[in-house]
Chain A
Amino acid sequence: MTSYLDFEKPIAALESRIIELRETADEGSLDIESEITKLQSKSSKMLRDTYTRLTPWQKTQVARHPERPHFKDFVKGLFDEFIPLGGDRNFGDDQAILGGFAKLGDRRLVVIGHEKGDDTESRLRHNFGMGKPEGYRKAIRLMDLADRFALPVVTLVDTSGAFPGVSAEERGQAEAIARSTEKCLSLGVPMIAVVVGEGGSGGAVALAAAERVLMLEHAVYSVISPEGCASILWRTGDKADVAADAMQITAQNLAKLGVIDRIIEEPIGGAHRDSNLAIATLGKAIAEELDELVQLERSALRSARRDKFLKIGSL
């Protein structure tokens, strides 16, 4: 059963009508068959139209869709092999940020990303994808490992933000994020960051200071959540849609602003409608980017990455 977003209600109505008709149509009545075909073309047109015209706030909801592929799905679909590595060697093994060795085709690399979980139990275990300091320190450790053993780094960003809690503050959430960003920028190996769902603020950028930043077509990436922005600047969370517009958070916006390098097309109706296709498309793109980046020397990679960020906003 697909879960429908609010703005998908007309599509939901058509699709459930189709299912109903199918159930009554086991005799193979031609009338019903042609009715189904008509409805199907209508609903797929509606789906396509809706998804080509998604507002930034609707995209936010798609990016947060419970059935959207998450880190574990991407890892399973993208790589022929995955060896999970864990722990920050200091405090614990944060389950919101996962990583390990992985093989993309013949290419060995280190993959790191946020995992949100997909049911109540796993969401709690993964803390809804909100990393704690030990998670960012684990990422630093894995990036360091990649750097020393000449393995490219691929990150999959999908977080509403770093965890805001007393224990996280106690253990230096801000410092952990700052060091993780610093580590990204120091790497002498290729780094590709992909915002696959939500790119929430510092908790996202800590894994995304890469020379190539990719974004899925309906992913969002912003300095603060639309709700947070609305509650501060409009003094009500109800204006999240307006805030999402104003902040320019979509992949299309960010490509125009020069913040991201490439948009990865999603299946019609979003990655959750055909996650295999979404993952395969991303896999191809990562392979292409890596083919280019592995040609570069360590120092060239580092300076390309640094120049990219130094240039942002200068005239």
Chain B
Amino acid sequence: MSWLSNVRNKIASITKRETPDNLWHKCKKCEAMVFLKEFEDNMHICPKCEHHGRIGPMTRFAQIMDENSWKLIPWAKVQEDPLKFKDQKKYADRLKDARAKTGEQDALINVVGTIETLPCVVGVQDFAFMGGSMGLAVGQAFVDGARRALKDQCPYIIFTAAGGARMQEGILSLMQMPKTTVAISMLREAGLPFIVVLTDPTTGGVTASYAMLGDVQISEPGALIGFAGQRVIENTIREKLPEGFQTAEYLKDHGMIDLVVHRKELRATLAQVIGYLMAWKDAA
């Protein structure tokens, strides 16, 4: 114990704050302060400005899936830290930290269950886990999600959120682009829908592979979606970026997305879309 904490502990007037820090939520966009409880009850959407906050896989499943309908698809083992990568910190330690922080194995989690009674496999990327980045584990989870959809003859729905490929896995992370694309081709050949829901943020190698290959492309409002990073673009063209550049609405205007859907409508919209894309199977 340092001399400072020794002294502090002896001062009776410094008591711990009664209210925990997370009683309030400050909106990242409009900076309004709202009760955390109110924010959470509002599906992590700011009640003042409708900004959609980032949410992790478990919250997403709870919002999207029929209650008690879903169960996790277990992780397949992959090579861990294949390059024994180390920058200022060991990749192995970064992984350990991310696992401790999120309680998850890696950045993509799949469940199998129902949405408005319609069977589906749903994968959600976790931006809190090393920026949602795609390495061997994410690539394998994606393939496993698609395979489960093939087995169950149901759609595969992916909620994307990622900074891109996981640099710490070098070329092997880049190879997840073709690898995940193979899985999509398998769904396509089986006549099964692959639906993409882009969430904030989705960039880099993830955007340039499965995130842009959906049969129907949906996005949450305001999500940042792009290939190249904004700083990289600014440095290349040496000019200011246009207003609203790389937002969901911008991508919709430029023909890259079918629907921008409010989080509160998402579950119903997905059920509708599945209804159309699976109608041929019901008829058969």
Instruction: Give A contacts to B, CB under 8 Å.
Output: 162-166, 168-175, 177-179, 181-182, 184-186, 201-202, 205-206, 209, 221-224, 229, 232-235, 243, 246-249, 253-254, 257, 259, 306, 309-310, 312-315
Contacts and interface: CB of A to CB of B under 8 A. Distances in A.
Contacts of A205: 174-175, 177-178
Bin the interface of chain B by size: 35 or more
B97 to A, nearest CB: 15
B248 to A, nearest CB: 13
Contacts of A209: 177-178, 181
A145 to B, nearest CB: 20
B114 interface: no
Interface string B79-114: 100110111100000000000000000000000000
Interface string B168-212: 111111111111011111000000000000000000110111111
Contacts of B237: 165-166
Contacts of B175: 205, 259, 309, 312-313
A185 B185 contact: yes
A162 B232 CA distance: 12
6 contacts: A169-B245, A178-B181, A179-B213, A182-B181, A202-B204, A306-B182
B73 to A, nearest CB: 16
A201 B174 contact: yes
Task: Report whether over half of chain A's contact residues are helix, strand or loop; otherwise say mixed.
Answer: helix
A253 B174 CA distance: 15
A7 B78 CA distance: 39
Interface stretch (B2-10, B135-143, B259-267): B135-143
Contacts of A257: 82, 170-172
Contact of B88 (A169, A233, A248): A233
Nearest to B163: A232
B151 interface: no
Contacts of B88: 233-235
A169 B228 contact: yes
B165 A164 contact: no
Given A165-B236, A182-B181, A205-B177, A313 B136 contact: yes
Contact of B174 (A162, A166, A202, A314): A202
A166 B233 CA distance: 7
A221 to B, nearest CB: 6
A182 B226 contact: no
A174 B207 contact: yes
B139 A313 contact: yes
B184 to A, nearest CB: 7
Contacts of B14: none
B171 A247 contact: yes
Nearest to B207: A174
B181 A315 contact: no
Contacts of A310: 143, 179, 182-183
A246 B209 contact: no
